[in-house]
Structure 1
Amino acid sequence: MLTKRIIPCLDVNMGRVVKGINFINLKDVGDPVEIAEFYNKEGADEIVFLDITATHEGRNTMIDVVRKTAEKVFIPLTVGGGIRTLDDFKDILRAGADKISVNSAAIRDPELVARAADRFGSQCVVVAMDARKRQDGSGWNIVINGGRIDTGIDTLEWVERVQSLGAGEILLTSMDTDGTKNGYDIELTEAVTSACKIPVIASGGCGALEHFYDVFQDTGADAALAASLFHYRELTIKQVKEYLRNREVQVRL
């Protein structure tokens, strides 16, 4: 049985780690290199680094911050935000990232997923999805640009599409629970994990130890991502892993 991964997420804006609710009202949390190094020592399984306003502002991800972060961490580093071309993939992988996360760019050009998987390997290609429940409750739509634009694309159909194109992993964020601390979106996560064969990282809404257990117990998620819980030291990664181990969830201590 594969161990479940605990992944802190560094949302970066203008070179600083920030946190908000539903991607707005951003507060400064600290320096990304220092925070990544801290989580590396604390026992995180991976780190996700997202330049959250790069796509909205039409900027490229900050290569220098990626490079400095990669020099300090010895666990897989996933980088996303503002990635639009194969050259962007190449530049960030060269700077030390292990995986590249694409979101809006994959929506606009789905074949980018296939080209990147073909050139760099599926294991490098993470498709990030921000999903919001439709008002009629019939399912979830993919939203982009930090939740500003509803694409009208059905989330489960998109999951199947990117999987067939060669994505190696899905980073799934529920826009309905993001930043709320009321728990992961179990319904959405279970629907997505049931619809695909590649690993799924659950994201959005974690606020307590039990929420980590619930998402692993009640869905097929391979990893759980959290941000503010860890940034504000409400919980440590060690606490989360010891709690899960005591509840017979396989984790790497």
Structure 2
Amino acid sequence: MGNDVLLQARGLSKSFGAVRVLHEVSLDVRPGEVLGILGPNGAGKTTLFNLISGDLKVDGGELVFSGRPLRGEPPYRRCQMGIGRTYQIPRPYGGLTTFENLLVAASFGGGRSESASYALCARILGDCELSGKANRSAGSLTLLDRKRLELARALASDPKLLLLDEIAGGLTDEEGKELVALIRRIRDRGVTIVWIEHVLHALLAVADRIMVLNFGEKIAEGAAQDVIKDPEVRRVYMGIEV
């Protein structure tokens, strides 16, 4: 793998029984870029993330991160290596404060002592516009602030690669713009991002490249505006505003 590739996937495949969810998907993610992933429900997008993060085992193919093969590495080791991720449905520890949620992520995900995590958590709270809600119960946060906290928790492990799974889903247009601005700031800090999203205008506002999956196979990949004009991509997204 060349030095200009942070994450390399070759021939990734995954099946659940007789159902083939991913079939020989390959991709390269370069440091500092934002790769968007599109595809209808059931296309295999979240399964791809689960293979990268270690939540699922690969049936076939290889994953290499920062020059190191990921096969056999459990999720916590991948997190410590620099892979952070968010989930479609934020599930903070509702009984803990916003700051305590972040502290747990920094201590266990980032492998730091609790005292060494304080300054990092305070900075991330500021970056994610959550400083004023640091002592508020996470269970009482609005959807937008839960999304911000989900991002903050992923950032607390100090990732090189951030996997965002439909983080703009369910937000109003105005809330979506605020989240896009936050993701841009994260990108500008040098974090590489792979982002699954159905909210196309949010994805197009940030992504450098887009890859499209359909029925577990890659059908298009390239510059964002070029991919959106691809006839096959338009056919797959028939009925969805492009």
TM-score (norm 2): 0.39
Structure with the bigger RCO (C-alpha within 8 Å, sep 6+) is 2
TM-score (norm 1): 0.38
